[in-house]
Amino acid sequence: MAARTSVDRVALSCLSFVNEQRRVRVSHDDEVSTHGHVKQQLGRITERDGTVRAWVHRHDDDVILRAVAAAPRGPLSGWTLGVKDVIDTFDLPTERGSPIYAGRTTSNDAACVALAREAGAVVVGKTVTTEFALFTPNVTTNPHDPEHTPGGSSSGSAAAVADGHVRAAFGTQTVGSVVRPAAYCGVVGFKPTYQLLPLTGVATLSHAFDTIGWFTRGVDDCATMFSALTGAEVLTAEQPLRIGRYRSHQWDVAASETVKVMDVACAALVERDAEVVDLDPLVHLESVFEAANTILHYEIVRVFAWEQTHHYELISDLARKMLMKAKDVTHGQYIDAHLALIAARREHDTFMAVNGFDALLTPSTPGEAPLIKTTGDSVFNRVWTALGVPAIHLPLGMGPTGLPLGVQLTGRSWRDRDLLASAALTEAAFNGGHD
Catalytically annotated residues? 84, 153, 177
Q: Is 356 left (phi over 0), alpha (psi -120 to 50) or beta?
A: left
Contact status, residue 329 vs residue 337, Cβ threshold 8 Å: no
Distance of CA 428 to the CA centre of its chain: 21
Contact status, residue 248 vs residue 362, Cβ threshold 8 Å: yes
Contact status, residue 195 vs residue 173, Cβ threshold 8 Å: no
Question: Cα(19)–Cα(402) distance, rounded to whole angstroms?
Answer: 49
Closest CA to 374 of 148, 68, 199, 190: 148
Distance of CA 224 to the CA centre of its chain: 15
Give me the helices (H) in 150-281, please: 155-162, 179-185, 219-230, 256-271
Question: Cα(309)–Cα(304) distance, rounded to whole angstroms?
Answer: 9
Give me the helices (H) in 304-400, please: 305-310, 317-326, 331-355, 382-387
